[in-house]
Amino acid sequence: MKISIDDIKNSKNQSLKVDFDNEVKGLETEGSVCAELVFSAYGSYINVKGKIVANVKLVCDRCLKDFVQKIDVDVDETYTLGRLKSSSEAHSGQEIELKDGDFVTELAGEQEIDVDDLIYQSVTLNIPNPCVCDINCVGDSEIEKYIKKEVSDPRLDVFKAIKIKKEGK
């Protein structure tokens, strides 16, 4: 689904509300992805605010079993219609501090905003790491054979016998 920038600018108060209830390519979900997004035009910027909810199918990092995790994302993205200055043009090699408004996506002449891409990025960036099916998951005994056990180098055993004396004792 794509939203035209002209549609946003020509809507009442230059604000357009979009309800999304569909599948998103690249996301494995149980059911559809639901989103309520408000696109607002501010001069050469488009701001998107809203909420995305998806039940994403994942694989547990500990036991490798499939499970479904509800991902609930608050969206606040800004797009610019014009060209952003590169950091070398704007600051000529000087160190700069990034501020909240510095995270802007350049549309590079595009006349539409891809809602599917916005949702895909927002959901995938909010998948927890590590990804576990349950907080108490200890893994599967079948996986233990693939986990590398710590093996000490026998040449370093001589260092285990060293006694360190502290000064003054």
Tell me the pLDDT of the chain (169 aa) as tens digits. 888 888 888 888 888 888 888 888 888 888 888 889 999 888 878 888 999 999 999 998 888 889 999 999 998 888 887 665 554 444 445 555 556 555 667 777 778 888 888 889 888 988 888 888 888 887 776 666 666 667 778 888 888 888 888 876 5
Q: Which two tokens stand for residue 65?
A: 């079993």
Kindly report the pTM of this predicted structure: 0.68
Place of tokens 């309800």: 19
Residue closest to 23 by CA, chosen among 112, 120, 124? 120
Residue 154: both structure tokens together: 């026998």
Per-residue pLDDT tens digits for 71-80: 999 988 888 8
73-110 pLDDT, tens per residue?
998 888 887 665 554 444 445 555 556 555 667 777 77
Task: Say how far apart CA 101 and CA 165 lie, in whole Å.
Answer: 56
H or E element, residue 70: strand 66-80
In terms of Cα–Cα distance, which of 56, 49, 88 is closest to 72?
A: 56
Rg (CA), the chain: 25
